[in-house]
Copies of this chain bind each other. A is one copy, B any other.
């Protein structure tokens, strides 16, 4: 189970095609075919059905492991490199969309405290932030999510990263102002199991996360929004396509898009929207250089 083989396997499964995967990886179709054949021979079982190329049950299991495995491998390499490198000369920040709001608040402070260094900010999905910080692509990451009030965010257990809580926000349900529930003082998830939900996994808390947090598995999305634009989501809600759980500040900024929206606190189960700072293990001068950033953001 060479990591290269696993990487090819993941790519083929993603692409649904040997040749597309080969193109993406810079191999020939032949090489990809040999990689998969080697894996299948090693594990003694077919991993992919051909034509169409879809994972077998065994392949599904392997897929669940392969990604985290490669991530951990990158994390290990990045961790070693950090110990031999001095303090980073460029601060590369990453944040999930809703966490970027918190970051924007503190960014001025960060730049002032590190006038000499270059800065960059990337806004992308939660898992990409985690993966990037683990692999050393980003110096710092900021992610958001929902959790019980005392619990930390439960991020991919593939990697071991330091986390620092940055902000807790009240979790509210955003719904059209003329929605029957819009005038309620508060809401429980029980009130909402039959509601029309918009799942916006790249932006708001994924419905799956809400489901596990609530222990219920009755929440089903009526609509899925793949995107990271908050205003688009709010407009969708306003137009009655469904409702979503968001941090209070996201629904009540001084923004024109918010007119016609109600934000009702979600009080049961007790959940909060949490923002956390992620960073790899930093030692020596690097740690000192970043201590300022952390304290600025907290």
Contacts and interface: CB of A to CB of B under 8 A. Distances in A.
A77 B157 contact: no
Interface in A242-296: 281, 283
A139 to B, nearest CB: 17
A81 interface: yes
A152 to B, nearest CB: 12
A45 B76 CA distance: 14
Interface stretch (A57-65, A108-116, A198-206): A57-65
A45 B1 contact: no
Interface in A80-99: 80-84
A45 B75 contact: no
A66 B58 contact: no
A194 interface: no
A75 B64 CA distance: 11
Main secondary structure of the interface of A (DSSP, over half): helix
A64 to B, nearest CB: 8
A73 interface: yes
Nearest to A73: B1
A65 B61 contact: no
B76 A66 contact: yes
Contact of A69 (B72, B281, B283): B72
A65 B281 CA distance: 12
Interface residues of A, number: 31
Contact of A72 (B58, B68, B79, B84): B68
Contacts of A62: 76, 79-80
Interface string A134-173: 0000000000000000000000010010000000000000
Interface string A1-35: 11100000000000000000000000000000000
A163 to B, nearest CB: 13
Contacts of A239: none
Contacts of A65: 72, 75-76, 79
A193 interface: no
Contacts of A75: 65
Given A62-B76, A69-B69, 14 more contacts: A1-B3, A3-B3, A43-B81, A44-B81, A45-B80, A45-B81, A45-B84, A57-B83, A58-B84, A61-B76, A61-B82, A62-B79, A65-B76, A72-B72
